Structure 1
């Protein structure tokens, strides 16, 4: 009898050990996609366990962390390859891609974590100066402004300069001396100007941005987020004069100095229409900019990067692909809903 009990016990143990595991994990993120020649190619979109379908020529999977993988189908057979997760391809600690028209988030990674913004914050300095000064208004340069560290255009405190030239120096050459000179002429001091920057940031939808400098140089209590930078840049690019200035690769000042834009994306990445770079030891590499292809526009913000230009290329390509895929899903869903409405 005891031998029988022992045999039964071991039988159940063996059944448990060799039984199939419960199907979970990847199935929730990457469903198995199959199709036959008789089936219509379908689009399957799944996010957090929910899915919708519509007739189209692509299969799309939304992962739980926001990554999209797409497989094109031809005659019911997969011919493309999965789009690799963008998170694995970027070094940035924080990043976001938003729709420039609607402000909707397309991709986000730690987008609301506060970090030092470095020179990306100069988009506020430049925009406030554009709205506060006339182009040929005279700008004086204090000893303090002239002693700012690089990057700078080496302003001479014995001379005066035109406001237009100083704004270009801020937006293109990321000049710290020009930033402080503008701040002091507009608000009386850089501290007062920084408070103005913080207020404007709030008004323009950046709720987690606090400015302590006009330059973005590291300062205690100064912070922004990838989401705030993207929102600010989306706002300032609606101003035609700001957008015109920041789009130029080079400009000659009224006193003959040539200013070169630090934003290499203008000649490296298709569709770049304007952007602002930044770097400090504390912030690492930062960037915010807009890209347009056809009728689509996106804004990309990066903070805490070690490979900024590579990160930017990956995020721009990913952003446009995902935007197109989302639009495709919406269009097919609306089409299906209209068809069902007419039938009812």
Structure 2
């Protein structure tokens, strides 16, 4: 009997122990984030709205992007040129190697059509034609686009051509590629062309239907929510890929560089997208949100976006100088935004109004003095005139 009783106690303890382990495992699983295992040499995943980095692998390593270069060429052309302008194709553009839309020497094509051929079919000839239209030559184009990219915040990019064919000095990073894509996606013309799956192409020597090379976008590899994409490949760069996607309130940009095979590039991209959509969400702070700190009023002067883990509990704190800090339960800083000091603005406005009123008052006083002085002078002249007549 005593032996059986001990067996029951041991069995009960064992069951409780197993239940505790299982419960603890489930709790850990519920709160942990499993980062993807990325085989590409470099990769990054960012939130499109806020620019926050959700995942990075060698994001600042300088590498050759191949045809991902054309994203920069496209947004530069959209902002610098006029889409309805007609471009005449040169011999230099016609003879470029690699993927083309088969432009002919002397063919006249609108800038918009060239950008479509650039993004959808990755036309190197379209890229050269665009660069010559914008800046006269590929070399001058490279000088100008590098300045343009620096002005919008790219720090580690140097392009020597508009298409991405290999050159030892043609370099960028996953971080910079994500930044330029985020910037470009704010432009409606770019968004439309970047997300185009197919386009009827009527050229002087080539009539066809262009289909995007990006397999997720054209749904050869099904993935819900993909909004745009660009592929790239040269021997020295391996397979490169940029993908934009949206689900619910979260929009992300995934970049992978130097995958050994095309399948690896797409597998890495799908893993990045799954990671983003499974674990993160975007929250907004509306424009005009008010925060009162030490009798001073601060507001957000635009809609602010920040991305958090779905497992995070966040707190918001506004410093004395109006810096809004978003922190998680571990007090890690997730995002920060400088708010506008409305109290100071009000004081400045009141001071300006008061100064203006003082100025008007002084002006009026001066007018009265001038008027009084003028009347006095006239009276004196009249008296003097009467005295002269009497004498």
**TM-score between the two structures when normalised by the length of structure 2:** 0.63
Cα distance change on mapping 1:151 and 1:35 into 2, 3 Å: same
SS at match of 2:163: coil
Pair 1:127 & 2:98 matched: no
Cα distance change on mapping 1:217 and 1:36 into 2, 3 Å: closer
Identify unmatched segments of 5+ residues in structure 1.
1-32, 45-57, 62-67, 70-84, 338-344
1:37-186 paired onto structure 2 within 5 Å: 59-61=30-32, 68-69=33-34, 85-87=35-37, 90-186=38-134
Maintained 8 Å contact 1:106/1:322: no
Q: Deviations over 1:112-154 (max 9, x none)?
A: 1000010001011111111222233111111111111121011
**Aligned equivalents of 1:319 and 1:227: distance in 2?**
16
SS at match of 2:179: helix
Q: Deviations over 1:153-204 (max 9, x none)?
A: 1110032111111010011111000000010011000111112221222122
Identify unmatched segments of 5+ residues in structure 2.
1-18, 282-306, 317-326, 328-391
Maintained 8 Å contact 1:233/1:289: no
Q: 2:272 aligns with which of 315, 320, 337?
A: 315
Q: 1:288 aligns with which of 242, 250, 254?
A: 242
**Aligned equivalents of 2:211 and 2:310: distance in 1?**
39
Pair 1:258 & 2:258 matched: no
**Aligned equivalents of 1:171 and 1:253: distance in 2?**
13
**What RMSD over aligned residues (CA atoms) do the two structures have, in Å?**
2.5
**TM-score between the two structures when normalised by the length of structure 1:** 0.72
Residue-pair matches, total: 265
Maintained 8 Å contact 1:117/1:286: yes
Q: Deviations over 1:244-275 (max 9, x none)?
A: 11111011246454222112211232211011
Whose RCO is larger (CA < 8 A, sep 6+)? 1
Pair 1:327 & 2:309 matched: yes
Which structure has the larger Rg over C-alpha atoms?
Answer: 2
**Aligned equivalents of 1:191 and 1:217: distance in 2?**
14
SS at match of 2:181: helix
